[in-house]
A and B are shown apart, each in its own frame.
Chain A
Amino acid sequence: MKKINIILFALVLLVVGGFILQGNNFFKPDQNVDLNIGDKAPEIDLKDPDGKTIKLSSLKGYMVLIDFWASWCGPCRRENPYVVKAYNEFKDKKMKGGKKGFRVYSVSLDRDKNQWVRAIAQDGLIWKEHVSDLQWWNSVAAKTYGINSIPSNYLIDGEGIIIAKNLRGEALHTQLQMLVQ
């Protein structure tokens, strides 16, 4: 009996002590200050212009370019021809780490849906994977990925692992070419 009491007492001490040690601090400093190559890309779960949710994870098996952009971002619009070219060239190519081919998952930081949709058409961004919560820089995806500058992109493999970042201009083509099997 005495033994049980001691064990019980120790348990109580542990639990209470744990609370004291943990304190009532609500805030925990965020560990992920930057997503690096080799990290798992966090899930994005936003809606397309028709209101249909498209999860990033739905593209499992593809090599995916997560592309943060906006209709009002001039430098992003000037990058778009490179992205379109890469999409057309590699979408059906089997790639190392992306057997199903290549896809673009475009996350827009637009505020105005009409401008977003118009820019998609104007720049010929013909893929279906266009999502946004129309929250400008406060977009939940931008916060998750720590995006405060655009254009900004991540190349992830079929398992969702980041294999390259910020591929601008021809660099995107060069990187994808290296991955073609």
Chain B
Amino acid sequence: MSSFVIQGGYPLKGEITPQGAKNETLQTLCAVLLTDQKVTITNIPEIHDVMRLIGILSEMGVKVNKLEQGTYEFQADEINIEYLKSQQFKESAAKLRGSIMLLGPMLARFKQGFIPRPGGDKIGRRRLDTHFTGLFKLGVTLDIDDNGSFYRAYTTGLKGTYIHMDEISVTGTANVVMASVLAEGTTTIYNAACEPYIQQLCTMLNSMGAQISGIGSNLLTIHGVDKLGGCVHHTLPDMIEVGSFIGLAALTQSEITIKNCGIKHLGIIPNVFEKLGIILVKNGDDIIIPQQKSYEIDTFMDGSILTIYDAPWPGFTPDLISIVLVTAIQAKGSVLIHQKMFESRLFFVDKLIDMGAQIILCDPHRATVIGLDRKYPLRGIEMTSPDIRAGMALLNAALSAEGTSRIHNIEQIDRGYQFIDQRLNKLGARITRVS
């Protein structure tokens, strides 16, 4: 296990470009299975989960050709179905939650799919029922093998239908969309997730020849087509990185320019940071965060304490709740952070309290942050990263803290943020990686 040693308390300065969005890439990579033609994807973040999925595709027989850093060409013209029944596939796919999204495209194109029960983040319990309920309605049958660790799905032919998703699930929606683009007739998906990731997947599929309308809403209509062709797809910048860097700039009193943010696709993310009192300047598609000595949290119109909570898109993404929480530590004023969608992501505030933050953990979902307004800095401590998002939030806290911090288990950070230490060091951060 590797660690970061961080000398905190130094302001940063300069430009940083967000990587491509991981969650989008995990979907678009699965979509390459829907055609025998060449599909090129640019701006791919070469992080663990993504590379693991590319590895699985390659083992399945997809021809993978790296054209340049972040740009890959795929051609799924000779898929080895037998491989999907192998122990090796079982092991590779079990390590990656995103591999569940192989199922929809496999069923659409080859009428069968195999998938182990996935692993991934230990954030609450995430069920897969949504995926299967949707697929069942399209005409899929599911077997579970003897020891219950492996799913086998098959169909005699997918048929379009009306599907009301029983919960809003990004990967669930992606799976059902990818299955239905080649189904016979029209599929209507209501209560669909509508994150930019899903929008991107749908526009990519449309570019390939699919007929999807309602993109950006929770009601998708998909007219099935016989086959799809190739396309070139450009991955959006990672909105989670954009948010993380905004928080980092404010917390460390730094002036940072975030290049090519894809502002059009950020939804209300910038507004939430503005509610913390952070000044953001829009320059084309860049966001400039000027150096700010103090930032003051808004109150509600009646003067009561601001609440920031997560919600399915177009609400505020749960993946930035921990970043907002940490950013509020040095703000002026108080805010209630309410993580509605997951139940164990706030426990990392223990570490922040050790660092000197004024936080009341109310229950597993809510924490009140009483901003310090820089009356004193946080102090560096030793800590362990529990998950991707908390890991980045702790790194932000450590960069603002006086003295040395150590963050262990940084594989959790590497899973989501590519070369984060090198990229932040270019802005003047002092992060050393030790193994």
A-to-B contact residues, CB < 8 Å = 21, 23-27, 29-30, 33-34, 36-37, 70, 72-76, 78, 137-138, 143, 146-152, 165-166, 168-169
- For window 203-218 of chain B, which residues contact chain A by CB distance below 8 Å? 203-204, 206-209, 211, 213, 215-216
In the complex, what distance in Å separates the CA atom of A146 from the CA atom of B203? 9
Give A33 to B199 CA distance when docked, in angstroms: 8
> Chain B interface secondary structure, helix, strand, loop or mixed?
mixed
Contact A168 B282 (CB under 8 A): no
Q: Contact at A27–B270, with CB atoms within 8 Å?
A: yes
**Inter-chain contact total with CB atoms closer than 8 Å:** 98
Q: Would you give the shortest CB distance from B44 to chain A, in whole angstroms? A: 13
Mark the stretch among B260-268, B327-335, B337-345 that contacts chain A: B260-268
15 A-B pairs (CB sep. < 8 Å): A25-B271, A27-B266, A27-B280, A30-B265, A34-B203, A138-B285, A146-B264, A147-B203, A148-B235, A149-B200, A149-B231, A149-B232, A151-B231, A152-B207, A166-B209
Contact A165 B271, CB 8 Å, known A26-B280, A74-B40: no
Q: Does B37 count as interface, using CB distance less than 8 angstroms?
A: yes
Contact with A along B272-298 (1 / 0, CB 8 A): 001000001110010000000000001
- Contact of B230 with A by CB under 8 A: yes
A26 touches B274 (CB 8 A): yes
B232 in complex: contacting residue of A21, A27, A75, A146, CB < 8 Å:
A75
Q: Kindly state whether residue B248 has any CB partner on chain A within 8 Å.
A: no
Q: Which of B213, B230, B281 contacts A75 (CB 8 A)?
A: B230
Residues from chain B with Cβ under 8 Å of A25 in the complex:
271, 274
**In the bound complex, what is the Cα–Cα distance between A21 and B280 (angstroms)?**
18
Establish whether residues A150 and B229, one from each chain, have CB atoms under 8 Å apart when the complex forms. Answer: no
Additional A-B contacts beyond A29-B314, A34-B215, A146-B264 (6; CB < 8 A): A30-B264, A33-B199, A33-B215, A33-B216, A147-B203, A166-B207
**Inter-chain contact A151/B207, CB cutoff 8 Å:** yes
Distance in angstroms from B221 CB to nearest chain A CB is 11
